[in-house]
Amino acid sequence: MSQLRVGFIGLGNIGKPMALRLAGADAIDLTVYDVASGPVAELEAAGAAAADSVASLAACSEVICVMVRDDDQVRDVLGEILGVAGDAQTVVIHSTVSPATPAELADTAARHGVKVVDAPVSGGAMGATDGTLAIMVGGTDEAFAAARPALEAMGSLVTHAGPIGAGTKMKLARNLMHFVAFTAATEAQRLAEAAGLDLVELGKVVRHTDAITGGPGAIMHRATTAPLDQDDFWYGVFDHVRALGEKDLTFAIELADELDVDVPMAREALARLGKGLGV
């Protein structure tokens, strides 16, 4: 079986372990590029070839993965790739960029006969290291099929989210929940601290129970956010969640008031939980 020639640009905290997964894949012939020599040497030791420029990497790669810092760096890298691009090439943008950027890049690349997919990742450096990233892909069926062997070497969940840009939008929706939850955690910590509790032990409890219940993802099974009919199976489930949530949030807010702790997210959650659940 012929090997897929993959190039990887950007060997940072997440890019390097992603590239190492590709280096260890039997069906992939990997070439890497980064401005820092240290991670390049590490990839060479793992069996990858090193390119001396983006252009030289692009000249020998069928699929080119890009994991650089921001929109401007992605545009710069794509410009160098397109200078030597071939018609069969697919560029995979792993960087989290503005929602409008993937379509702009795809339009530019199409004039050179190059396909683009946006494929941001979720799971951090740990997921990149052990190959369990979730990779959310936006692009045509053809472009997704071309990139898929490389993506499946780096992630255990690869989902085709839709047309170009859909991967980025899914990543932003996922991270909205992530960082709002982080903010809620800081609010809970303030309440716990004011109540004289051990924050480290609270963290252990949160991680333990989230591993059992699934955390916020436990409620994400419906295909719509529309209000639920009372005869819908999920109505009873979510009405129970609403009742428990409103009770516990009410008690938590009462405790916060007693301890003079500001908990705006808890107050918003109490007002919005039922409507958000569709009940």
Give the pair of three-digit tokens for residue 13: 């905290």
Q: Are residues 47 and 151 in the same domain?
A: yes
233 assigned to some structural domain: yes
Q: Are residues 210 and 130 in the same domain?
A: no
Q: Give the total number of structural domains in the chain.
A: 2
CATH code of the domain covering residue 248: 1.10.1040.10
Q: How far apart are CA 235 and CA 276, in angstroms?
A: 12
By three-state DSSP, how is residue 68 classified?
A: coil
CATH code of the domain covering residue 83: 3.40.50.720
181 assigned to some structural domain: no
Is 204 in the active site?
Answer: no
Q: Given the DSSP bridges, would you call strands 90-93 and 121-122 parallel, antiparallel or unpaired?
A: unpaired
Q: Are residues 111 and 206 in the same domain?
A: no
Q: Are residues 157 and 202 in the same domain?
A: no
Q: How far apart are CA 67 and CA 173, in angstroms?
A: 20
250 assigned to some structural domain: yes
Q: How far apart are CA 188 and CA 201, in angstroms?
A: 13
174 assigned to some structural domain: no
176 assigned to some structural domain: no
Q: Are residues 108 and 19 in the same domain?
A: yes
End-of-domain residue from the set 140, 164, 188: 164
pTM metric for this prediction: 0.93
268 assigned to some structural domain: yes
CB neighbours of residue 97 within 10 Å: 24
Sequence-distant contacts of 189-192: CB under 8 A, at least 24 apart: 190/261, 190/262, 190/263, 191/252, 191/255, 191/256, 191/259, 191/261, 191/263
By three-state DSSP, how is residue 91 classified?
A: strand
Q: Are residues 17 and 58 in the same domain?
A: yes
143 assigned to some structural domain: yes
Would you mind telling me the total number of residues written for the chain in this entry? 279
Q: Are residues 129 and 248 in the same domain?
A: no
Nearest to 266 by CA among 249, 241, 245: 249
End-to-end CA distance of the chain: 54
Q: What range does the domain containing 272 cover?
A: 196-277
The predicted pLDDT at position 147 comes to: 98
The predicted pLDDT at position 85 comes to: 76
Q: Are residues 39 and 145 in the same domain?
A: yes
Q: How far apart are CA 232 and CA 39, in angstroms?
A: 53
Q: Are residues 28 and 134 in the same domain?
A: yes
The predicted pLDDT at position 1 comes to: 62
Catalytically annotated residue among 171, 204, 247, 275: 171
Residue type present at position 2: S
Q: Give pLDDT tens digits along the chain (279 positions).
A: 689 999 999 999 999 999 999 999 999 999 999 999 999 999 999 999 999 999 999 999 999 999 999 999 999 999 999 998 776 799 999 999 999 999 999 999 999 999 999 999 999 999 999 999 999 999 999 999 999 999 999 999 999 999 999 999 999 999 999 999 999 999 999 999 999 999 999 999 999 999 999 999 999 999 999 999 999 999 999 999 999 999 999 999 999 999 999 999 999 999 999 999 999
252 assigned to some structural domain: yes
The predicted pLDDT at position 86 comes to: 74
Residue type present at position 222: R
Q: Are residues 236 and 138 in the same domain?
A: no
Q: How far apart are CA 232 and CA 247, in angstroms?
A: 23
Q: How far apart are CA 279 and CA 273, in angstroms?
A: 9
